[in-house]
Structure 1
Amino acid sequence: MIDVSTPKARHRFYGRSAWQTVRKQVLKRDNYECVWCRQKGRVTTAKTAKLEVDHIKELEYYPELALEPSNLRT
């Protein structure tokens, strides 16, 4: 299992290639748009903002979902 038990461990996790790979997949899946903005009828893309990929269920409490695309959103 991935160690995300401390802030330092979580910081290391976000620097790993496995995270970078899944992050790119999620950005592509979400058409490089903020899904919250899209639901509100707004368009926010990488051209207008810095897009982040976040965990729906928090990484700290659900480490088993750390790399699960269904638990990630742009």
Structure 2
Amino acid sequence: MPTYGFQANIKDGQIEIPAEYKAVLHTPVKVFVITDWRAGSQKKREIPSLGVDMTGYKFDRQEANAR
């Protein structure tokens, strides 16, 4: 199965295929989308607060390492 790669923008939910590929991409295709996470388009994900009361809890690193 031949593979083609190109970068494209998504506009109104559609990916525009470059002109040089339109002639060869006329049959059903499989699409894999890889986002450029370095572009900053992704929202930062935060872990929600669990609301656990840690009052009176003492963390002992030595005891934890001994396990």
TM-score, normalised to structure 1, is 0.25
Which structure would you say has the larger RCO, counting Cα contacts within 8 Å and 6 or more residues apart?
1
Q: Find the structure with the greater CA-based Rg.
A: 2
More helix by share: 1
